[in-house]
Structure 1
Amino acid sequence: MPVPHSRGLVSRPLLRESAYRAIRDAIVDGTLVPGERLVDGDLVAWLGISRTPVREALTRLEQTGLVQTKPGCYTIVSPLDVRAVRAAQSVTSAMHELAVREAVPHLDAAEFDAMREANARFADALRRNDADMALEADDDFHHVAVAACANEAVRTVLDQFTPVLRRLERLRFSSLSGRGSVAQHERIIALSAAGDVEGAVAATRANWQTLLPLLDTWPATGEEPGDATAGGHAPG
């Protein structure tokens, strides 16, 4: 058959989104460590795409605070800035509280089942010390209310600020400090099912505040304990 005349079946926005997610996840899971140089050529080779979507992804990551760039000199993985993380935690908590406030009156049996199923996966991941799966299940749990509230502004703000918290959340779910979240999730479900909007909002706030004690363990410089700057390389 002749070669189709159409081109660009995989759009640049899709490539940019894929690059963004891949680099973001590598930063969150520690594959790319704080202070590490991000070299365009290495990232292009790793991702198998052109330089343009990689640069666009890095620009977006800089906007979220995960990457720092000095034009003409370097691009690095951002050290953990305690002030930025505290600000992100405050905004993210407020958005999840708003989502629960708006969602609770409309949640149905299927959505409560989805929350319980996500929390069961979350508990299982913590028992197996699988921080990545715990993060995914935790996201799924909280996403139920975010989706049910149907507030696009909430979703937009969370997309902007949640990535800043990811490294901290992964640390929490890699340690015993994350175990209490299972019971907190159960409380959120119970209060929501009972129609107690204010109680569910308060429980959601308490759940997100469990991140705050971890910030006290980070050095004042914002460097993550045990991490050192490495030579520029992409995940293999």
Structure 2
Amino acid sequence: MTDRPRRDIIAAAGATASLTLAGCLGGSDSGTEADAVALADHPLGENLSDWPHLGSDPFDAPATLVVLDDPSCSRCAAFHQNTIADLESEYVARGELAIAVRPYPVVYAWGEPAAHALEATQSRDDAAFWNLLDHYFAEQSSFGTDNVFAKTETWLGDNTDLDATAIVDDARSEAFADRINATLSAGEEAGAGDITPATFAFVDGTLKTSFNGSQSTASITTALEL
């Protein structure tokens, strides 16, 4: 496996040290006001309907949240297990919100092979993608670059009907590297840099604000005018 995506984002960020130290950020409740850019014209809008999302099509929803996160980032785990879960159970369930998630591996080294496994899984089954992402978040401390593929194959084999070996083979060969590199490039262009989770809030198809780090449910609902 090569490390092209990590080299690309490191080059953009300018320093390897900042990748590890700043990459997984505890959040505050303040967002960054953004220029009013349409989701369709935003760097993260390209092919967004094809990416994993909860709820209706991100371009059709009254409000849309686009989240860039790394499966190895502890703050991403907290954000999903708390804020995203709250938003899904209430606002997504009522059809008021769509949440799109894109793997953005910029933190610890095992996040990159995990991102490749997530892409290979999502190409076969959306539900399995979400379940695998939840598994990575729940068991972060048990993963490393030396075991991520083996543990992923075991989990997929035990918990899905998918061909776990084929998925891991695709991940090892970086069959979906173009998608990951496209996300890294779009994140850089959008100003996400090397901070995860990076969250972009759109209302009526227009960017309202963006956040760096894990955010509270109240911060997100206020930004989305929910």
Bin for the TM-score computed over the shorter chain:
under 0.3
Question: Please, what TM-score do these two structures have when normalized by structure 1?
Answer: 0.26
Bigger-Rg structure (1/2):
1
Question: Please, what TM-score do these two structures have when normalized by structure 2?
Answer: 0.27
Highest RCO, 1 vs 2 (Cα 8 Å, sep ≥ 6): 2
